Amino acid sequence: MRKPSERKTSHWAAAACALSVFAALVVQAAPTQLIDGVNIMPTWTLIAIFLWAGLRPHFMPPIIVFAIGLCQDLLTGAPMGVWALSYLVAIAAFRFRGEDGMPRDLPPILARFAGTLLLAHAIAYLMGSWSLDEWADLRPLIIEATATMLMFPLIAYLSLRGRRSSRTGFIGG
């Protein structure tokens, strides 16, 4: 059962969630390549899913996370289900649990996001390689993971600056 504060969900928060996920999907699908054809786009969709799953968990049930991954697969031309499965498993494994949800302190959030990012990219690499029947090129995923990890602290700080302090400890809920 949801806490009383979660039952009184603002329509503005739901609209902000939908809009931010939609914007992340569109930006993720936009071509951004340097001279050598290296794509430096962070995984904006995973950032949005992770933050909303921590801030308002009822906005990101498993079916929504899976649907967002399928939309990313469609928009980016990845084999169907690769990102859907990787997001679903990674968010399920590293989602903040507990009474307080996501803490305000950045170190536990960064640690959990790093685990989420590594698991999601590992699953995407293995599933992509399996669908191609050969080992996929690992370099684009490494660059994407690095760019994502460099951008995440700023996005997390901006998202969490208005939250109250948490008493859940170093690792979080």
Q: Each residue of 108-141: pLDDT tens digit?
A: 889 999 999 999 999 999 998 898 888 988 888 8
- Confirm if 87 and 119 have CB atoms less than 8 A apart: no
- Confirm if 144 and 117 have CB atoms less than 8 A apart: no
pLDDT at 23 exceeding the cut of 80? yes
2 is a domain residue:
no
Per-residue confidence band for 167, with pLDDT thresholds at 50, 70 and 90: very low
Spatial distance between the Cα atoms of 54 and 50, rounded to a whole number of angstroms: 6
What integer is the mean pLDDT of 145-168? 79
Q: Structural domain tally of the chain?
A: 1
Predicted confidence (pLDDT) per residue in 75-109, tens digit: 888 889 999 999 999 999 888 776 556 777 788 88
Domain that holds residue 49: 43-160
122 is a domain residue:
yes
The helix or strand, by DSSP H or E, that contains position 122, with its residue range, turns out to be: helix 106-132
Per-residue confidence band for 166, with pLDDT thresholds at 50, 70 and 90: very low
18 is a domain residue:
no
What integer is the mean pLDDT of 147-156? 93
pLDDT at 14 exceeding the cut of 90? no
Phi and psi at residue 161, to the nearest 5°: -65, -20
57 is a domain residue:
yes
Percent of the chain with pLDDT over 90: 41
Query: Which residues lie across from 39 on neighbouring strands?
Result: 33
Per-residue confidence band for 38, with pLDDT thresholds at 50, 70 and 90: low
25 is a domain residue:
no
116 is a domain residue:
yes
Query: Taking Cα atoms as reference points, which of 57, 52, 43, 137 lies closest to residue 86?
Result: 43
User: DSSP state, 32?
Assistant: -
Per-residue confidence band for 11, with pLDDT thresholds at 50, 70 and 90: confident
Percent of the chain with pLDDT over 70: 81
66 is a domain residue:
yes
pLDDT at 170 exceeding the cut of 50? no
172 is a domain residue:
no
Spatial distance between the Cα atoms of 117 and 45, rounded to a whole number of angstroms: 11
